Amino acid sequence: MDSQIKKIHQQLVSKQITCTALVQERLDLLKQNTYNSVNSLLDTLALDLASKVDAKIANGETIGLLEGIPFGIKDVYMLQGTYTTASSDLLKNYKSSYTATAIQKLLDAGAIPLVKENCDSFGHGSSSENTIFGAVKNAIDPALVAGGSSGGSAVNVAKEYTVFSIGGDTGGSVRQPAGYNHIYGLKPTYGRISRFGLMAYASSTDCVGPLAKSIEDIRIVLNVMSGKDPKDQTSIVSTEISEEAISTSTVKTIGYFKNFIESDAIDAQIKADFLASIEKLKAKGIAVKELDFFKSDILVSTYYTLAMAETASNLSRLDGTNYGNRIEGENLIDTYATTRSENFSEETKRRIVGGNQVLSQGFSDEIYLKGLALRDQISENFSKDFQEVDIILSPVTPSTPPKIGDSLKDPLAMYLSDAYTVGFSLGQLPTLTVPQGTSTGLQITAAKNNDELVMQFANFLKDTI
């Protein structure tokens, strides 16, 4: 699909449509949707911003490429004056007092926010069922899960309720739902986009990530949000990626992990489709190399060890005193305990308990420090791999999306569904889901800071597979 952003921009400039009519149409679609993808609509703000765009066009003023383009926001980003619930009971009445840097940059470019989108509570889940707003339904088959945790964002893009949406990716939370709903979803290099104003889940792997229906729209949105931010010390300087730079592929050699494909856990059809894609690339003259890597279960256990430790630390501030829905107890400690016990979901409590166990005295050396050492080894392995190959290609998931309800019965199986995404998060690498190659898409990964190469190869794949 060609760029929806450019198409709508031309329609606005040529006065084929008005921005107000465009925004009203998308708001109506969101109101009528039955996919549980909406937490709250920003209709007053959106229509006010749309009328200003129409006034500029009527006055003959030039508008920017993103000006008047409707988008959605996963409900873990601050947008001043709007509800920011994280799809949780604890924050269901919380209103942001400031705006996230990434969202502010989009507002400054003139993009129009329509909706706060449903997600797994605090990003905890791989199916978007762990939410007080009801399980998000898959855009292709509503009986299936949408994927998590940015499920609402993926569905809104897939159904064209929004032109693009902003999700958050910690261990695959943009890439997996993008694959389940047949759209593009990018986890950029860690630090390329400021995390300021994104509710922290696991701070060392959290990334702001766009979802859209074309590579060009991903590129446009990424460029706007990227850059060093004094409010986030982990953010980095980055250069703009031009359309010309990603129009021709320079990739000569790709690699794939044998243990991902030879695993007993992978669905037979996904395996067959992936290997067929590899053969098509060989036929185009691309060299293919099999790579050895950590077993999937080691990647998953390392990721969850560190992610649970970080989430236990990050969520310790949510005790009803400064934030959230306070429930009074007999004394202060009882108030803390009751507030957190009653307001956190079972999945969130499971991760907090696990994280506190990892960090507790007597266990931190044995478990947490071992996890940190493994993460260093994983990063070193990736560095060696990228001395041999330009790109790593992999399935996004080992299996197809489960039926709604099945994931909740087996949390361990849900964790293992992240097996093919979490390793790249631990390496802080740029990774893009493309809706091709297998029924849940393919994942393109490059070395750190090579986001441009990822999109370049995605354009090549679009014309090859």
CA distance linking residue 190 with residue 260, whole number of Å: 23
Neighbours of 227 (CB within 10 A): 18
Q: Say how far residue 319 (Cα) sits from the centre of its chain.
A: 27
- Helix %, strand %, coil % of the chain (to 5): 45, 15, 45
Tokens of 23: 């925004």
pLDDT at 26: 98
The one catalytic residue in 3, 87, 127, 149 is 149
Angle between helices 19-32 and 4-13 (to 10 degrees): 130
Whether 258 is catalytic: no
Cα 260 to Cα 308, 417, 423, distances in angstroms: 24, 12, 11
Q: Express each pLDDT in 148-175 by its tens digit.
A: 999 999 999 999 999 999 999 999 999 9
Task: Assess contact for 6 and 14: CB atoms under 8 A.
Answer: no
The tens digit of pLDDT for each residue in 390-443 reads 999 999 999 999 999 987 777 767 776 788 999 999 999 999 999 999 999 999
How many residues comprise the chain? 465
- Residue 74 bears catalytic tag: yes
**282 catalytic, yes or no?**
no
pLDDT, position 407: 79
Is the distance from CB of 280 to CB of 444 less than 8 angstroms?
no
**Alpha carbons 77 and 326: distance in angstroms, whole number:** 21
Residue 245, helix vs strand vs coil: helix
Q: What would the pLDDT profile of 284-299 be if each residue is shown by its tens digit?
A: 999 999 998 877 788 8
Q: Supply φ then ψ for residue 400, to 5 degrees.
A: -80, 165
Residues of the chain with pLDDT under 50: none
**Choice among 3, 37, 74, 137 that is catalytic:** 74
Which residues, 6+ apart, have CB-to-CB distance to 65 below 8 Å?
5, 6, 9, 109, 220
Q: State the pTM of this model.
A: 0.96
Annotated catalytic residue, options 3, 88, 127, 173: 173
pLDDT digits (tens, 9 = 90+) for 69-82: 999 999 999 999 99
Q: What is the pLDDT of residue 378?
A: 93
DSSP secondary structure of 94-151: -B-SS--HHHHHHHHTT-EEEEEE--SGGG--SSS-SSTT-PPBPSS-TTBB--SSSH
CA distance 13 to 213: 22
Locus of tokens 């980055």: 238
The residue among 137, 122, 138 whose CA lies nearest residue 173 is 122
Q: For the CA atoms of 411, 120, 273, 454, what is the dihedral angle to 10 degrees?
A: -130
Please answer whether residues 130 and 124 qualify as being in contact, where contact means their C-beta atoms are separated by less than 8 angstroms: yes
